[in-house]
Amino acid sequence: MPQDKQTNRRIVLASRPHGAPDASNFRLESGHVPTPAAGQLLLRTVYLSLDPYMRGRMSDAPSYVPPVAVNEVMGAGTVAIVEQSQHPDYQPGDWVVSQNGWQDFALSDGRGLFKLSGPVLKHPSWALGVLGMTGFTAYMGLLDIGQPQAGETVVVGAATGAVGSIVGQIAKIKGCHVVGIAGGEEKCRYAEEVLGFDTCLNHHEEGLAERLSRYCPDGIDVYFESTGGKIFDAVLPLMNSKGRIPVCGLIADYNSTAPASGPNKLPLLQSAILRKRLRVQGFIISLDYADRFAEFFNKMSQWVAGDRLVFREDVVDGLDNAPETFIGMLEGKNFGKVIVRVAGDKP
């Protein structure tokens, strides 16, 4: 549907998925563009971030935040342009990071906005990736919880994705031996040749545990957990004593409708944690580290400006393509940080 400045297109949650989401769980609607009252801004979405956590918000299972209500607009981090302002701190044309959700326009009272200025304006969408939520997740999870030391071995799954690609590159900056795990030969080649990982293993090929043990001859000191599933099964026996496991995500399970069948692995896990004195710590970036965003942003901006890090985006045009792109991301179809370009970037 072409964008009409008088129309606010929004994608709402039409129904809750059972297992993998499909197109019927989403509905595209059109409404009026809202008018800002005193103290408010009208924001026009330019870039929309699609992230795996949104699968959790589509479900009404207990979680750390309430779910999206059925018939409500899907929530999301966005980069937006101020279209109209009745707020003293913002002018039309300002760029902000906001939470507009999956829609063209949203009102804001300024709370929670992050105004973009300086070099990031060359790539405003990076404020959703390497300089935004996913880069922040990689930075805090790896450095604060993983605490990698030079010479140690760090393993990370979803290695070419928004979080994993940054985790591995920071680990290289810290002097670690980095083994990535990714879905496919092309992704693995990219991780080795462009991101600079020492090795990347394709988890679609047989024998992951054996290959991982071959490429981690000194065991694993830090496993940055983003996937769970068979990758965790392959990693656990190789963890070294005093190893650290920042638990960031479990994407292999997000579409599961029942616990995995097979033997109960809990005793094995508990025994490994005890005998090897592993530190296993979950974290939610928005809840646990909000007060350290400035520290992250300054450091990451320096690394980006100094070409110490490579960042790849998978940009899809058009709000109406968001559902299909989101569904594909959960299946590993993305190659880099998933961004939907909702509108042109001229104020």
Residues found near ligand NAP in the complex (CB under 6 A):
51-53, 134, 137, 157-158, 160-164, 182-183, 187, 203, 226-227, 229, 231, 248-249, 251-252, 283-285, 329, 332, 334, 337
CB of 250 to ligand NAP, least distance (A): 6
Q: Go through the chain and tell me how many residues it has.
A: 347
336 CA to centre of own chain: 10
In this complex, which beta carbon is closest to ligand NAP, that of residue 243 or of residue 249? Answer: 249
CA distances from 264 to 19, 268, 269 (A): 22, 8, 10
State in angstroms the smallest separation of the CB of 329 from ligand NAP.
5
CB of 93 to ligand NAP, least distance (A): 30
Residues whose CB falls within 8 Å of the CB of residue 102, separated by 6 or more in sequence, listed in order: 10, 11, 48, 73, 74, 75, 76, 319, 322
Decide whether 106 or 248 has the Cβ nearer to ligand NAP. Answer: 248
Question: Any idea what the Cα angle at residue 239 is, between residues 234 and 245, rounded to 5°?
Answer: 95
Nearer to ligand NAP, 161 or 323 (CB): 161
Any residues with CB less than 8 A from the CB of 144 and at least 6 apart, and which?
A: 289, 292
Nearer to ligand NAP, 29 or 205 (CB): 205
Query: How far apart are the C-alpha atoms of 135 and 132, rounded to whole Å?
Result: 6
Closer Cβ to ligand NAP, 81 or 216, answer by number? 216
Residue 150 or 287 having the CB closest to ligand NAP: 287
Smallest separation, CB 182 to ligand NAP (Å): 4
317 forms bridges with which residues in the sheet? Answer: 341
Work out how close the CB of 139 gets to ligand NAP at its nearest, in angstroms, rounded to a whole number: 11
CA distance 266 to 6: 55
CB of 179 to ligand NAP, least distance (A): 13
Compute φ and ψ for 56, nearest 5 degrees.
-65, -35
- CB of 33 or CB of 233, closer to ligand NAP: 233
Residue 204 Cα distances to 124, 184, 230, 253, 270, angstroms: 34, 7, 10, 16, 28
Best CA proximity match to 54, nearest among 114, 134, 140, 165: 134
Shortest distance (Å) from residue 27 CB to ligand NAP: 24
In whole angstroms, the minimum distance from the beta carbon of 203 to ligand NAP comes to 6
Report the C-alpha gap between 151 and 59 in whole angstroms: 41
Cβ-based nearer residue to ligand NAP, 182 or 216? 182
- Burial class of residue 272 in the structure, from the number of CB atoms within 10 Å of its CB (0-12 exposed, 13-18 middle, 19+ buried): middle
